Chains A and B, each alone.
Chain A
C-alpha cells in the first residue's frame, strides 16, 4: 500500500503527470500573454500539449554525435531532474510531497540539472550552432546561478531554515517582497535567466544560432527537453512566489500568486530586447550578484 501511494505521488499526483499538465498550462499562459502584449492572437489553450504529442509521434533523427548514450540519455536526465525538483515545492498550494532540512539546496541543484543537460547535449553535437549554443547556455548558467541562489537564500535566512516547507510557512506570515524587495527583483530576473526567456535568450537566439544547443534535436528528445522547460517554469514560479509573495498555502492562493508573477514575467519578456551573452554575464556579476550579496549582508546584520 505504501509503495502504491508513493508511486501514485511520484507518477500521478501531486508530482509526475500533474506537474507536466500544470507546466504545459502555464506555458500556454506565458505564450498567450506575450502574444497579446505583442498584438498577436496567440495559441489556443491546448497548443503546448498538442506540440508535445506531435513531437512524441515524430521520428527522432539521430545526427552525428560524440556519444550516442548521452544523446539519448540527456533528455531523460533533464526531465527527470525537473520532475524530481517538483517533489519538494508546495505545488498547487499543497504541502511538498517530500521534505527534509536542506531540501532548498537539493531543489536548486535538480533545477540546474536541466540546464546542464542542455549544455552537455549541445556539446555532444558536431553542429556548430549547437556548440556555440552550448557554450552560451553554460556561460549563462555560471552567470545567473549564484545571484539566483543568493536571492532565494534571503527568505531562507529570515525564516531560519533551509527547508522549503518551513520557509513557506514563515512566508505565509510575512510578505518578503516588502522586506526584501531587492532579493525579489534578483530572484525574478534570475528565474527568467534560468528559463532562457527574453531578454536572456541569447543561448537560443534564432537569428544567430538557429535553436542553440537543441538545434539537432527532434522528436522524442526535443519533446523531453520542452516538457522539462515547462516543468521548470512552474517550479520556478512556485518557488519564487512561495518565498516572496506571502507563501502558498491553498490552491486559489497558488493560482493567483503564480499567475500574477507569470504576468509580470510576460510583460518583461515583451518589453525588453535580447542581451548579448557578454552583456548578460556583465549584468549578473556587476549588479545581480552584488545586489544579492548586499541583501544577504543586510539580512545577517538584521538577525
Chain B
C-alpha cells in the first residue's frame, strides 16, 4: 500500500467525525474532531489497525484566541494523521481519556494534564509525572501566558502534604529504587512492592531531571534552539539536533544538500554504535557481569575517538547546522573511520557470541521479561525494545528520511521478546551500522555542505520523526512566522517504552528488575528534557590544568561564601 492509499484509508475511517480536513504536507492528514467524537475516532483507527499513537501534543493558542488544542498523532509508515481537538481555555478544557483503547496514552495524557491543564476525563492516574511535588496546582507551565522567568510560588512542603512513603503493606515490603540508587545512572524513582523476592506491584515517578526545555525553546531563536535541543540528551545529542533541523528545514522549504544528509547519517550511525556499546556495558553491569561492562566501555572509546576526530567533540558532536552540517569528511577521516569500524565489527561479533552462549549470562536473560508481539504492539513499544519482540518499528525503514533513501539499512528483528533478544537486536544493529557506514564513507555524494536558511521561518506546523538509538524520536514544531518557534514538542522513545517495565515487573524476581529497566535502555534526561545552559561571557581555550585550577578555586570560593 502506498502513502496515497494509506492516507485515503485514514480519511475514510475518520469521515464520520470529520469537522475540517487539512493536508499540511503530502504525507500528512490533519482532521479536526470534537472532544465528544474523539473516543469514537480513535476507536475507528485502532479497530482498523491503522497505525499507532505517536504522541499527544498540547498547544495553547494564547489568551486572545482563548483555545487550547490537543493533537493526537497517529503514524503508519511515513503517513501521519493528526486528530485535532479544540477546547476553550476556561472553564477547564476537557478531553476524554483514550488510555482504555491505547494503554501507553496514559503517559501522554498525564503530560497533557500537568503541562497544559487539560482535564482528561477518566484518567486512571492523574498524579504528578514530571513536575515537582511542590509545584503549585493549577499553574500550567506550557500555557502561553506562563513566562519562563515567572516566579512560581512554591507550596509548603509539610508532613501533611507529603507523608513519609510507606515501607510496608501487610507482609510485603516496598523497595524504593531511586532517585539515587546504584542501579540507576540517572534519576528516576520506582517503588517495587515485594513479597520475599517476588515483585507484586510497581509505581514510577519521573521528572527529576526536568528543566523545562520546551518552554525555554519558545524564547530563543531558531539557531539558538539547535544548541538547546542538542542538549536534551547526553547520549543521542546528534539525533535530537537532526530531528529539529529536519523540522525547521521542512518549514522553511530548504533542501539540504545530499552530501550533508549523508554526513548526518554517518554521524547518527556512529552515535548509534556508541550508544549501544554504552548500553551493553550498563546491561552487563546490572547483571553483575562487570568484565563485559569494562570491555565494552573500553571498545566504546574507539567510536568516541572517531567522533572526536570527525567533529572535535566526544559527546555533543554539534555536527548539524540549520540547512546542513558543519564539517566535511576527507580521505584521512574516511581512513580512520574504516579502521575503527573494522576493529569494532570484530569486537561486536565477539560480544554477540558471548551473549548468546555464556551459560551464566543466559540464565539471567533467556526467557526473562518476555514481551510477546501482541503485547509489544499493545504497549506501543518503540525501537530495539519493540524489534526484539518481532515488531518492525524502525523509522529508518518505515519512513526513510534524509540519506536513508540513498543508503538504506535493514531492520533487525528478533522474535523471542526476552532480554536476550534485546541484547541480540542491539548488537546486530551495530553490525548493520558498521556495514552501512562503510558504504557511506566510500560513496559520499559530492556537493555543498550547507544550504542557505532564512532568518525567519514561515508560519506552519511540521512533524519530524527520526530513529534515535532507543527508538522513534518525535518532534512537533510550530512556527508563527517569527524568529522564535511558537511551540516545540518532543516525545522521546523512553516515554513509550516504560510500559515494558511497569507491566512486566510484576511476578518477576527483584533481581531481574534492574536488568528489565536496563533492557529498554531508558534515558531519563531525554525523557525529562534536561538542559543546563552555561553561557560564558568570553570564550577562551583552557588547558586541563587551568580547568582543574579553576574548579578548585570555584569551590573554594563557594565554601568561603557559605562559611561567611
Q: A-side interface residues toward B, CB under 8 Å?
A: 37-40, 126, 128-129, 131-132, 135, 198-199, 201-202, 205-210, 270-279
Whether A276 pairs with B360 at a CB distance below 8 angstroms is: no
Whether B173 pairs with A201 at a CB distance below 8 angstroms is: no
Contacts of A271 in B (CB 8 A): 291
Nearest CB in chain A to that of B293: its residue: A38
Question: Which listed segment binds A: B28-36, B110-118, B320-328, B510-518?
Answer: B510-518
Whether A275 pairs with B363 at a CB distance below 8 angstroms is: yes
Whether A277 pairs with B360 at a CB distance below 8 angstroms is: no
Which among A38, A198, A208 is the interface contact of B295 at CB below 8 angstroms?
A: A38
- Pick 21 A–B contacts, CB within 8 A, sort by A: A37-B291, A38-B291, A39-B294, A39-B298, A126-B167, A128-B175, A132-B510, A199-B360, A205-B288, A207-B182, A207-B514, A208-B183, A208-B511, A210-B182, A273-B288, A273-B292, A274-B288, A275-B360, A275-B363, A276-B511, A277-B511
Whether A132 pairs with B173 at a CB distance below 8 angstroms is: yes
Whether B194 pairs with A132 at a CB distance below 8 angstroms is: yes
| B451 within 8 Å of A (CB atoms) | no
Whole-angstrom distance between the alpha carbons of A129 and B194 in the complex?
12
Nearest CB in chain B to that of A211: its residue: B182
Contacts of B509 in A (CB 8 A): 276-278
Whole-angstrom distance between the alpha carbons of A152 and B556 in the complex?
58
CB distance from B371 to the nearest CB of A (A): 20
Which among B294, B358, B364 is the interface contact of A276 at CB below 8 angstroms?
A: B364
| B342 within 8 Å of A (CB atoms) | no
Contacts of B174 in A (CB 8 A): 128
Whole-angstrom distance between the alpha carbons of A39 and B290 in the complex?
11
Contacts of B287 in A (CB 8 A): 273-274
Whole-angstrom distance between the alpha carbons of A206 and B511 in the complex?
10
Whole-angstrom distance between the alpha carbons of A289 and B111 in the complex?
55
Contacts of B292 in A (CB 8 A): 273
Whether B295 pairs with A273 at a CB distance below 8 angstroms is: no
CB distance from A7 to the nearest CB of B (A): 43
| B407 within 8 Å of A (CB atoms) | no
Contacts of A198 in B (CB 8 A): 288, 290
Asked if A128 meets B167 with Cβ closer than 8 Å, knowing A273-B364, A275-B363, A277-B197, the reply is yes
Contacts of B176 in A (CB 8 A): 128
CB distance from B486 to the nearest CB of A (A): 43
Whole-angstrom distance between the alpha carbons of A277 and B194 in the complex?
15
| B285 within 8 Å of A (CB atoms) | yes
| B214 within 8 Å of A (CB atoms) | no
Other than the known A128-B174, A199-B360, A276-B364, what 18 A-B pairs have Cβ atoms closer than 8 Å? A37-B291, A38-B291, A38-B294, A38-B295, A128-B175, A132-B197, A198-B288, A201-B288, A202-B511, A206-B182, A207-B514, A208-B511, A270-B290, A273-B287, A274-B289, A275-B363, A277-B511, A278-B197
Q: Mark B191-202, 1 if CB is under 8 A from A, else 0.
A: 000101100000
| B429 within 8 Å of A (CB atoms) | no
Whole-angstrom distance between the alpha carbons of A37 and B291 in the complex?
8
Whether A273 pairs with B360 at a CB distance below 8 angstroms is: yes
Nearest CB in chain A to that of B180: its residue: A210
Contacts of A199 in B (CB 8 A): 288, 360
Contacts of B218 in A (CB 8 A): none
Nearest CB in chain A to that of B176: its residue: A128
Contacts of B506 in A (CB 8 A): none
Whole-angstrom distance between the alpha carbons of A208 and B184 in the complex?
10
Of B176, B360, B509, chain A has the most CB atoms within 10 Å of the CB of: B360
Whether A207 pairs with B360 at a CB distance below 8 angstroms is: no
Of B194, B196, B286, B510, chain A has the most CB atoms within 10 Å of the CB of: B510
Nearest CB in chain B to that of A131: its residue: B173
Tell me the B251-303 residues at the A interface (CB within 8 Å): 284-292, 294-295, 298
CB distance from B169 to the nearest CB of A (A): 12
CB distance from A284 to the nearest CB of B (A): 15
Tell me the B159-197 residues at the A interface (CB within 8 Å): 167, 173-176, 181-183, 194, 196-197
CB distance from A139 to the nearest CB of B (A): 9
Nearest CB in chain A to that of B177: its residue: A208
Whole-angstrom distance between the alpha carbons of A202 and B509 in the complex?
12
Whole-angstrom distance between the alpha carbons of A202 and B512 in the complex?
11
Contacts of A201 in B (CB 8 A): 288
Whole-angstrom distance between the alpha carbons of A276 and B292 in the complex?
18
CB distance from A150 to the nearest CB of B (A): 24
Whether A207 pairs with B173 at a CB distance below 8 angstroms is: no
Contacts of A272 in B (CB 8 A): 289, 360
Nearest CB in chain B to that of A40: its residue: B294
Whole-angstrom distance between the alpha carbons of A275 and B182 in the complex?
18
Whether B510 pairs with A208 at a CB distance below 8 angstroms is: yes
Whole-angstrom distance between the alpha carbons of A274 and B360 in the complex?
8
Contacts of A207 in B (CB 8 A): 182-183, 285-286, 288, 514
Whole-angstrom distance between the alpha carbons of A126 and B196 in the complex?
16
Ordered nearest first, which 10 A-B pairs have the shortest CB separation?
Answer: A274-B288, A273-B289, A207-B183, A38-B294, A276-B511, A206-B182, A207-B514, A273-B360, A273-B361, A270-B291
Whole-angstrom distance between the alpha carbons of A40 and B281 in the complex?
14
Contacts of B289 in A (CB 8 A): 272-274
Tell me the B93-136 residues at the A interface (CB within 8 Å): none
Contacts of A209 in B (CB 8 A): 175, 510
Contacts of B361 in A (CB 8 A): 273
Nearest CB in chain A to that of B286: its residue: A207
CB distance from A123 to the nearest CB of B (A): 13
Whole-angstrom distance between the alpha carbons of A276 and B513 in the complex?
11
Whole-angstrom distance between the alpha carbons of A38 and B298 in the complex?
10
CB distance from B286 to the nearest CB of A (A): 5
Contacts of B182 in A (CB 8 A): 206-207, 210
Contacts of A39 in B (CB 8 A): 294-295, 298
Nearest CB in chain A to that of B174: its residue: A128
Tell me the B497-543 residues at the A interface (CB within 8 Å): 509-514
Whole-angstrom distance between the alpha carbons of A132 and B175 in the complex?
9
Contacts of B183 in A (CB 8 A): 206-208
CB distance from B273 to the nearest CB of A (A): 19
Contacts of B298 in A (CB 8 A): 39
Nearest CB in chain B to that of A127: its residue: B167
Tell me the B8-44 residues at the A interface (CB within 8 Å): none
Contacts of A129 in B (CB 8 A): 175
Whole-angstrom distance between the alpha carbons of A41 and B319 in the complex?
34
Of A135, A206, A273, chain B has the most CB atoms within 10 Å of the CB of: A273
Whole-angstrom distance between the alpha carbons of A126 and B164 in the complex?
14
Whole-angstrom distance between the alpha carbons of A128 and B512 in the complex?
17
Tell me the B190-220 residues at the A interface (CB within 8 Å): 194, 196-197
Whether B513 pairs with A208 at a CB distance below 8 angstroms is: yes
Whole-angstrom distance between the alpha carbons of A246 and B248 in the complex?
76
Contacts of B514 in A (CB 8 A): 207-208
Whole-angstrom distance between the alpha carbons of A39 and B300 in the complex?
14
